[in-house]
Amino acid sequence: MYRSLTPLLVATLLLAMSTHAGAQSRLPTPSPTPSPTPTPGDDIVDLETLVVSGEQPGPGMWKVRRGDNVLYLLGTLSPLPRRMEWIADEVERTIARSQAVIDPPSLAIDGGVGLFRGLTLVPSLLRARRNPDGGTLEAAVAPDLYARWLLLKPRYLGRDRGVESWRPIFAAQALYEGAMRRSGLSQDNVVEPIVERAARRHRVPRVSTKVSFVLDDPKSLIRDFNRTTLDDGDCFARTLSRIETDIAAMRERANAWAVGDIAALRDLPLEDQYVACIRAVTESGIAQRAGVVDVRDRMAAAWMQAAESSLATNAISFGALPLPFLLRPDGFLEGLRQRGYTIEEP
C-alpha cells in the first residue's frame, strides 16, 4: 500500500519534490483559486464521470519552429485512466527521426553516501514521515481539516491507523493515492517508458536538464527533519479540497488527454495541490541550510537552455513536458513564443 510514498518520502527528506516543472525563466505557480470547503455533513460524490479504457491515441504534439528546425512537444498529464493503453505510434516515429530527446526538468540530490551507507539511513527515513515527538495528525492540523479527513479516510484508506501518526504532507499523499485508485485513475507515467525505449532503439541521444545539489551531511539533515515541524497545513488542506471537489474534473481531464481533445484540456484548468506541498519543503529552514535554493528557477532555465540549443542545431528534436506548463499563460510555449519562435498547435 502507498507504493509511491517511498519516492515522495525520499524526495521530501532530501528537499526534492520535483515532479512538477516548467515555464519561461521561472516555473509557473498556479494562481490561488478558492475551493469550496465542505462541512462534515456534506455528501461526497465522485463516481459520476466514467473513465475511458482500451486503446487511445492521446494528444497531438506542439511544433516549435526556428527556420527549418522543429522541436516537437508532447504534453503529459497525471492522473490518467487506469485501463487505458496509449497508442504512441506518432511519438515513436517522431523520436526515430529526431537528433535529440530533451528530458523534462528534474532535480538530483546527491547525499555523498554509497549504497550500503545509504541503506543504513532507511530506518531514519521511515521515522521521518511521522510527526515529531510522537504527535498525531489530529493535533497537527486544524479541527475543521481533521473533520474533513475523517470523512474521506474510510472511503479511500479504510481502517489503517498507522497513517494517523504521519505528518500532514504524507497523510495527504496517501489519501490522494487512495482516491486515485478508487476513481479508476492511475498516476503511472505512461509516456516515459515509451520515450526511453524509442530513444534507445533508434540511438537518439537524450539531453539532460537535471539540476543537481550535493548534501554535505544527509544523516544530520534527516535527524534535523525528524525534529522539525513543516508548514504543511496548506498542502494538507489543498489535497483534501482536490479530492472533495475535483475528482470528476480529473476524470474529464484524463479522458480528454486519452482521446486527444486539446480544446477540452484548455477548458479544464488544473487545480494542483503539489505547488503548496513543494513549497512546504523547499521554503523550509532545512532546505535553506542544505543549500537547496532557487530550485524551480534553475530547473526552468536548464530546460529552456536545452530547448534553444536543440532548435539551433537539430533539424528535429522531441520533448515531453507536463501539460499544465505548456498551456498556462506563463508556460514554456509562451516563453518560446516571446523569444521569437513559431508555435504550431496540434
Cβ contacts of residue 207 below 8 Å, gap of 6+?
100, 101, 102, 103, 306, 309, 310
Residue 185 φ/ψ, nearest 5 degrees: -115, 155
For CA atoms 212, 304, 207, 202, give the dihedral sign: positive
Where are any strands of DSSP class E within the chain?
54-56, 62-66, 69-76, 80-81, 84-86, 100-102, 106-110, 185-186, 206-207, 210-214, 316-322, 342-344
β-pair type (54-56, 84-86): parallel
Shortest CA distance to 332 belongs to which of 21, 74, 22? 22
Contact 155, 44 (CB under 8 A): yes
Q: Where are the alpha helices (DSSP H) in 202-294?
A: 218-227, 233-245, 247-259, 262-267, 274-282, 285-290
- For the chain, the domains span 5-344
CA dihedral 92, 192, 268, 55 (to 10 degrees): 50
For CA atoms 15, 18, 182, 267, give the dihedral sign: positive
Q: Report how far Cα 308 is from the mean position of its chain's Cα atoms.
A: 24
- Each of the 346 residues of the chain gets a pLDDT tens digit; together they read 444 443 444 444 443 333 333 323 333 333 333 444 444 444 444 445 667 778 889 999 999 999 999 999 999 998 899 888 999 999 999 999 999 999 998 877 665 444 334 333 444 444 667 888 788 999 999 999 999 999 999 999 998 888 999 989 889 989 999 999 998 898 889 999 999 999 999 999 999 998 877 766 666 766 666 666 677 888 899 899 989 988 888 889 999 999 999 998 888 766 566 667 776 666 666 566 666 667 778 888 999 999 999 999 999 999 999 887 788 888 899 999 999 999 999 9
